[in-house]
Amino acid sequence: MSTSRSPWLWVQWLIAGFLCLHSLPAKADLMLFPTRVVFEKDQRSAQVELVNQGKTPETYRISVVNRRMGEAGEFIVITEPGPGEQFAEGMLRYSPRQVTIAAGSSQTVRILLRKPADLAPGEYRSHLQFDRVADASGSNSVEELAKEKAGGVGVVLSALVGASIPVIVRHGDTQAQVALRNLAFQAAGADNGAAVSFDILREGNRSVYGDISVTFTPRLGVSQDLIKAAGVAVYTPNPLRKARMPLTLPPGLLLSGGTLKISYRERAEAGGNLLAESALILP
């Protein structure tokens, strides 16, 4: 999830959580667009663009995995569905399965959807995973290192970084309702800065996805934006997501004698409609 200013970067929502407005960094050199794929109505195909912004060619192996979202927004890889969980992997076909992308170039991965005739209404989700493959050639190979040291054996440890994006299939009538509850303000202390915490409650048979903004309005003043977080999701079947956002206040602003408000809206490209809102009067 990306935030509007760097002091606000730490937000509990992960990945996933954790998105730029239009691209997701898997590592410093790989960018993905879009950051999520949603199949709705009669849509049967989509594509994801991989861009190598690095200075060397990179190889990525592509697979479909299933993940469960925890209450704090973390993701856990799973193989068997729990109550209410519905996977999309059996309906997805994608190509290619592995790509090598030259420096400064891009590669398109195409996704096809095949729904079974008896598919029940609801939302189905899996994740398209991109795993970097180790470079076993050139100066990074064991063979090359052995040549540098006659009779020696070289071992290379290379950090392999991957990323995944959700692929969501919505079939039939899907809807969701959202509420923000338990809004609380924590004043800055000796060890911690000011923060706001709240719960996102979701009901229905589809996930919700949007942007969070927190504002403060003094009793006799103008509303000020305190923090924004883009791309916040609550996936099915989760009914709850707990969140805590640190606040970096403008110089001279005291959070007292006014109203703290949090708003959850659809992304701008989805219409920007208000999903839920909650306010707290500060003494």
Over the stretch 86-130, which tens digit does the pLDDT of each residue have? Answer: 999 999 999 999 999 999 999 999 999 999 999 999 999 999 999
* Strand pairing report for 58-69 and 75-78: antiparallel
Please give the DSSP secondary-structure letter assigned to residue 7: G
Please give the DSSP secondary-structure letter assigned to residue 228: E
Q: Determine the longest span between alpha carbons in the chain, in angstroms.
A: 79
Lowest mean pLDDT segment, chosen from 111-125, 137-151, 212-226, 245-259: 137-151
Burial class (CB within 10 angstroms; exposed 0-12, middle 13-18, buried 19+) of 29: middle
Pick the most confident of 45-49, 51-55, 77-81: 45-49
For the entire predicted model, the pTM comes to: 0.81
Beta-strand ranges (E) seen in 148-207 are 162-171, 176-186, 195-204
Determine the pLDDT at residue 43.
96
State what percent of residues in the chain have pLDDT above 70.
Answer: 81
Q: Would you state the structure tokens that stand for residue 120, as one six-digit string?
A: 């029940």
- Name all domains of the chain by residue range, CATH numbers in brackets: 6-135+155-171 (2.60.40.10), 176-282 (2.60.40.10)
Amino acid present at 248: T
Determine the pLDDT at residue 185.
93
User: Is residue 168 within 8 Å of 37, Cβ to Cβ?
Assistant: yes
Please give the DSSP secondary-structure letter assigned to residue 167: E
Q: In sequence order, which residues have a C-beta less than 8 Å from that of residue 155 and are 6 or more positions away?
A: 142, 145
Determine the pLDDT at residue 162.
73
18's enclosing H/E stretch is none
